[in-house]
Structure 1
Amino acid sequence: MTNEPDRISFDDLVSAIEAKLTAAGASSAVARVVATNCATCERDALSATESSGSPATSIH
C-alpha cells in the first residue's frame, strides 16, 4: 500500500470541472475551454512538484 493519493485522469478532471461550470450557467463551449485550462494548470503544477521535490504554488 502506498501513501499516494488517488488520482483522477486528465480527461475525467476536465469533464468534472466542465459539468460544474455548465451547472452554474456557463455555455458548453466556455465551460470546456475553462475546464481544460484549469486541468492543465493542475497537471503542470503536479509535474513541477514531482520533478522538483518541493510543493508548487498555485492560485485557485
Structure 2
Amino acid sequence: MTEPETEIDTLDRLEAALGQIAARAARTDAAAAACTRTDVAAALDRLIVQLRDALASIGEAEHG
C-alpha cells in the first residue's frame, strides 16, 4: 500500500511538469518544430486538471 501524496509532493510534481512544458516551449532546435502549440496547450490543460485535483484533495483533507 502506498502512502497518500502530500501537498509538498503534489506541488513538486506539478512544478516539475510545468518546468518540462516551459523547457519544451523554449526550444529553438529542429525538434522544437515538431512540438506544436497544440502540444503545449494540451500539456498545460493536463497540468491544470492535475492542479485542480490536488487543490480539491487538499480542501477535502482540511475540511475532513
TM-score by length of 2: 0.49
Structure 1, unmatched stretches of 5+, are 54-60
Comparing both structures, which one devotes a greater share of its residues to helix? 2
Structure 2, unmatched stretches of 5+, are 1-5, 25-30
Relative CO higher for 1 or 2, CA cutoff 8 Å, sep ≥ 6? 2
Q: Which runs of 4+ in 1 moved over 4 A?
A: none
Matches of 2:46 and 2:40, distance apart in 1: 10
Identical amino acids, percent of aligned pairs? 11
Q: How many residues align?
A: 44
**Structure having the higher Rg:** 2
1:15 Cα offset (Å)? 4.5
RMSD of aligned alpha carbons: 2.8
TM-score by length of 1: 0.52
Matches of 2:57 and 2:12, distance apart in 1: 15
